[in-house]
Structures are given as C-alpha cells and as structure tokens.
Amino acid sequence: MAQLPAGMLKAADFRLIEEAVPPLKEGQALIEVLYTLIDPIIRGWMVNWFGFVPMAPGALIPAMGVGRVVDSRSPGIAAGSIVSGMYGWQNYAITDGQTILLDQLPYGDQVMPIRGHDPELPLTYPIGILGGLNDDGLFRH
C-alpha cells in the first residue's frame, strides 16, 4: 500500500516493490502464490474500518491465496504441495507452517494457519465463494 486511500481506490494507492526472496531457515517453506483473492474487505483493512491493526503506507496488502510449495525446510510441508493461507498480494511467501512470515496480519490472538488442499477440488476453491473456513478450521464443501 503506497498511501492510505481516500474515496475510491486509485493506482496511486498502490506500489509494486521487487525484492529478492531471502534464503529459507530451518522449519520454513517457500510458497509460490498462484491465486490471490481480491476481496472488498481489503478496502476496510486499508483504512481500519473493522478495528484491525491499522495498515501503514508500505504494508503488504493482506489477502487469502492459493500456492504451491516450491522449496521446504519444514518436515510438515512437502515441496510440490498445494496450500492456502493469508499470503497477501505477493508472488512468493515464506511460512513457518503456521503463519506467513512476509505477510503478518494480526487478528488479535488469532493466526491464519496454512491449509492443505483437497486435490479433487479446483485450485481456486479456498478463495472462492464456497471456500470459507468453518469455526473448526476446515474448508466448507
């Protein structure tokens, strides 16, 4: 986010930043983000309409996404796996298996966990209208 938006969103509210992906540490995995959700709630997060931690200029736009694990130093996350989580608007995300380290969006005491993907469902299922999580953390069908 380049600046706090005022009124309708405009190109000047956003900025594309290119950075090198840091090397993985033990216990981490690198996810290539394949699909990113563009949801109306993002506008609310940008200006703190819902009481979340305010975003500051320069912050990564938060968003659910679906990705492929391209490298892993985590025993619980296999390279090649399809996973979903709160990746934000970025091409690559690093996870410790629980949270995305390059995109930490605080929800009070909650974290947005990384989820495995059912291969019988479309890749975009977790970020579609039917892909919300139940209270137990499992995808609705």
123 belongs to a structural domain: yes
18 belongs to a structural domain: no
Alpha-carbon distance of 114 to 137, in angstroms, equals 10
62 belongs to a structural domain: yes
- Domain hosting 41: range is 25-127
Can you give the pLDDT of all 141 residues of the chain as single tens digits?
999 888 888 999 999 999 999 999 999 999 999 998 888 878 887 887 777 666 789 888 888 888 999 999 988 888 998 888 888 899 999 887 766 644 444 444 445 556 677 777 777 777 766 555 444 444 433
121 belongs to a structural domain: yes
Q: Tell me the torsion sign for CA atoms 65, 113, 27, 24.
A: positive
5 belongs to a structural domain: no
pLDDT digits (tens, 9 = 90+) for 25-59: 999 999 999 998 888 878 887 887 777 666 789 88
32 belongs to a structural domain: yes
Q: Tell me the torsion sign for CA atoms 34, 35, 41, 44.
A: positive
Give strand pairing partners of 139: 133
pTM of the entire predicted model: 0.76
Residue partners of 115: CB distance under 8 A and separation at least 6: 83, 84, 85, 126, 133, 137, 139
Alpha-carbon distance of 18 to 133, in angstroms, equals 31
Alpha-carbon distance of 4 to 1, in angstroms, equals 7
Report the CATH number that the domain containing residue 99 is assigned in CATH: 3.90.180.10
Q: What is the domain count for the chain? A: 1
Count how many residues are written for the chain. 141
137 belongs to a structural domain: no
103 belongs to a structural domain: yes
Residue partners of 135: CB distance under 8 A and separation at least 6: none
DSSP, res 13: G
